[in-house]
Amino acid sequence: MGGKVYASVLGLLSPRPPFVQVVPLSGRYIPKPGDDVIGTVTDVQGTFWLLDIGAPRWAPLHMTGTPWKIEVGETDQYLRVGDAVMVQVENLDPTGRIGVTMNGEGLGKLEGGTIVTISPARVPRVVGRGGSMIQTILQRTGAKMAVGQNGRVWVGGDPVAIERVREVLRMIDEEGHQHGLTERVDSYLRSTGGPSGGSGPTGPAAPEPALPYPRADPADREPDDELASEPAPDTELE
């Protein structure tokens, strides 16, 4: 409008020349192929499990999309209602059906720990530039973490470590749009002591895959610490 580009939603400005991306401060998770997400099992059928990944629709995980050798009717021996898993969005069909898989590095069943839910828009802030924020959290607390693009974060470790990480995630969720967040998180973690030294959840027994750990996507950078207002003239939106 008038040679300028305006954002249709309030969010964090993330310039990606020649485009400008605005990460919204709130909103429901919209899946994209390649997203690593944390889901919970809501139903078990003979050949698949139905997962809640916080999206507008449920996501079925077929038994062929796992590293396990499963016979028809044996699905409840591997995952049950309430279990948590890290899966990857594989495809979206024209009807909106979400296809997910558990085959891949860092994917699998999540044992023990707890799941903390934040706004999906805050995930880049949890990871930080080049994984800086999440590495700081892990080093300062001794906890284990797996971060889903759908705003669900699995945290493992002893109770003290989990509570410290939970507080940090609360700070990020509530203050992610403000300047100086990294410094405030680091200050909080320093003031509450060093790594707790918790052993985290027990590793899964065969035939389950290894526990997932944080994986920073090189293309996933933290948005700039400013609210989107008026990008430069003649700038196109993605």
Per-residue model confidence as pLDDT tens digits over 97-154: 899 999 999 999 999 999 999 999 889 889 988 888 999 999 999 999 999 999 999 9
Distance CA 85, CA 109 (A): 4
Matching fold, domains 31-109 and 111-222: no
- pLDDT category at 91 given cuts 50, 70, 90 is very high
User: What is residue 196's predicted lDDT score, i.e. its pLDDT?
Assistant: 57
Q: 215 pLDDT exceeds 90?
A: no
CA 22 to each of CA 89, 95, 174: distance values in angstroms, whole numbers, following the listed order: 22, 27, 18
| Tokens of residue 221, six digits | 């950078």
* Alpha-carbon dihedral 102, 104, 106, 111, rounded to 10 degrees: 30
Q: Which CATH class is domain 31-109?
A: mainly beta
Half-sphere exposure (CA, 13 Å, Cβ side) for 152?
Answer: 22
Per-residue model confidence as pLDDT tens digits over 7-35: 887 777 777 788 887 877 666 788 999 99
Per-residue model confidence as pLDDT tens digits over 28-44: 788 999 999 999 999 99
Q: 88 pLDDT exceeds 90?
A: yes
The CATH T-level fold of domain 111-222 is Ribosomal Protein S8; Chain: A, domain 1 (3.30.1370)
Domains of the chain, residue spans: 31-109, 111-222
Task: List b or e across 28-53, with b for residues whose CB sees 16 or more CB atoms inside 10 angstroms.
Answer: ebebeeebbbbbbbeebeeebbbbbb
